[in-house]
Amino acid sequence: MTIRREVKLGMAACLSLSLACAPARALVALNDGHDRLYVTGSMAFGWDSNIFANSAAQSDHTVSTSVVAEYQRRAGWIGVNASIGLDASRYNVFTEENFANPHLSLELTKQTGRTTGSFTLNASRESHADAAVNLRTTSWNYAAGLNFKYPIVTIYTLSGQIGYSGVKYVTGVFPELSTYSASANLIRIISSERDLSLGYRYRHSATSIDSTYDDHAFTVGLSGKLLRGINGTLSAGYQFRMPHGFTDQGKPQEPFSSWTASGSATYTVSKRMSLTGTISKDFSTTATDASVDNTTASLDLQYAYSSHWTASAGVNAGDSRFLGQAGRNVISTDPLVLGAQRHDDFVSTEASIHFSLNDHLKIAATYTWFKNWSNLSFAEFVRNAYGLNVSSRW
């Protein structure tokens, strides 16, 4: 079956199914509406000029489908959000990149009482172009987290998080990565519009090739009304990474330190228009066991033309400094060997138009342009893509 035929059949099925539906409500409602079941299906058609995110710039057309079943329970002290789904994509030329990836999630929430919080579990199989290694990767990703908030006295609140995440690559070429984290924040209410926080985060990362890293971050943050007309959350501070291992010369790896930040703020221009900015700076570990100091910032404009039509446009920029890799201290011409001294910068823009008749019919058209500069020639590339997505939720 050609992609053209799949497009025609998919569009006809989604449109006829959606237009025949009544206003959105749960597919199944039990226990006086406390238990609800939803099912969402979508189909996307697109083109990507650089499906591997490298200088070779190989392009392809894709047809993607997704089916997700969601369960929600709102009764008693504990709320439940659970989902299970399958995402699949078919490539027109590079058929070896076809995938069918399952995913599931579970969230237990407690929103009443003195102590509130949530417990989450996630598992998914993911396939995508990884700009840090300039290849397509497929991996199993696992995560678990416990978040809590406890008011100590009237103006002080303690919040915290304990988490685990794991990445296991299907190909076996890249090492597995496990990350354990714990953080605590002391929040002080300054006014009815603004909170101040002091935080500490510890993170331990370990790979299947016996390299480990310990990260420590100290931050101060502000949430609520940041400036007149601007609301959001912003935190910044100091962090350092302690790698454990030795170089090829038998010397201990040196620690890395830098400033860290995370935040998001929104300015409401009018009833129809809003502007949102985000910033993030943190250490990460790539699929090739390289430490990277990532800095990213974005600015997004949202405009609601009517209750059915919305449009958005955004610009993103980032800087990635590769700090080193166990046993390697120079750049290699092999794209799989990414050692110290590599330095990447990127800029991207995106635009989209959304039409929503109701939950049973949503259509989105998107376009993205991405440019990556690097002192590793294989990692310098341009990527642009467009797509059309049709979805229906029951």
Helix (H) or strand (E) holding 370: strand 361-374
What one-character-per-residue DSSP string does 306-319 give? SSSEEEEEEEEEEE
Question: For residues 72 and 104, what is the distance between their CA atoms, to the nearest angstrom?
Answer: 14
250 burial type by CB count under 10 A (0-12 exposed, 13-18 middle, 19+ buried): exposed
Domain spanning 3-393, CATH class: mainly beta
Q: In 10 A of CB 378, how many CB atoms?
A: 16
- Domain boundaries in the chain? 3-393
317: which 2 tokens?
């920029």
**Region at 12 (left for phi over 0; alpha for psi -120 to 50; beta for the rest):** alpha
What one-character-per-residue DSSP string does 83-107 give? EEEEEEEEESS-GGG-EEEEEEEEE
pTM score, whole prediction = 0.85
Residue 138 phi, psi (nearest 5): -125, 130
pLDDT for the residue 328: 40
Question: Do 235 and 265 meet the contact criterion of CB atoms below 8 Å apart?
Answer: no
Question: Do 110 and 77 meet the contact criterion of CB atoms below 8 Å apart?
Answer: yes
The length of the chain, given as a count of residues: 394
Question: For residues 246 and 244, what is the distance between their CA atoms, to the nearest angstrom?
Answer: 7
Burial pattern 363-375, b for ≥16 Cβ within 10 A else e, equals bbebebbbebebe
Kindly list the distances between the CA atom of residue 337 and the CA atoms of 126, 306, 326, in Å, as whole numbers in the listed order. 22, 50, 11
Question: Do 232 and 226 meet the contact criterion of CB atoms below 8 Å apart?
Answer: yes
3-state per-residue secondary structure call for 371-390? EEEECCHHHCEEEEEEEEEE
Mean pLDDT by 10 residues, the chain (394 residues): 41 39 62 87 97 95 97 92 98 96 97 93 96 92 97 95 96 89 97 95 93 95 93 97 73 86 96 97 90 96 96 98 58 46 94 94 97 93 97 94
Q: Where are the beta strands (DSSP E) in 228-331?
A: 230-244, 256-268, 273-285, 290-304, 309-325
pLDDT for the residue 29: 74
